[in-house]
Structure 1
């Protein structure tokens, strides 16, 4: 099962867990109140998984690809890792399904505090449009992930501040309703 927790403020290596002291775990219900959805699937069956197909059909995910993030397989690795870790938002949902390896998605809560979500093989997450977030590998430095989209893929990340976008305004209203 996925683990999530509040992060400390340390500027040290972002690939480390960065748990607050004392630890402040975050459950799935709190993530749901932020609009973050989670599934645990069998990554070894991703090519013919009826559960994945049902999720894709129900949520309208019509496009997908697979990306491997590691030094040997991702051109421009160092620059891309830095870019992924810049705080940003998207105008569409971000969907990632971890097929192998592991990494962290960090999301902002209602008080603008960072929550770290540890993702590993079989974890699938959906981040809502307009949520500030970032991604980093963990100390294993490897992840293979499926990226899903509704319609054609949109790769544009809008670095913070990006509060003027309609997607951000809708997300802030959503947070106010779930408070």
Structure 2
């Protein structure tokens, strides 16, 4: 893959992951001051799905069963702490996400585990492939967490009455 030093890619991906974790913590703290909506629940995984374009590059590709395994690890293991720390509350006729004191620690813990796993996995696959695997792992985690949020939100919000139809 070009003339880029793999160790620089590794350092760059780690710094990028730390930056993203800090941004997520900051955004989540601000978001808890505004009501939750279905749109706010689903926009992050939809925006993240554009990352699948990385698999157009041949150096990033790997067997499909690796992708399935990474997705399932994200879905069943990495999403669990986020699901456990996400709670909603009714306030002023709206649904809000409760601030969780443990959320920042959970994200930093997940980042630490991800970094350690990255070290192990980089021994067996290339840096671009491990980036793709961890993207799929993160996508599985986010989709499961947001699916949980959506189910919890819809259970708390009564269905909207249909709009009256105009008389003809």
TM-score under structure 1 length normalisation = 0.25
More helix by share: 2
More RCO (CA 8 Å, sep 6+): 2
TM-score under structure 2 length normalisation = 0.26
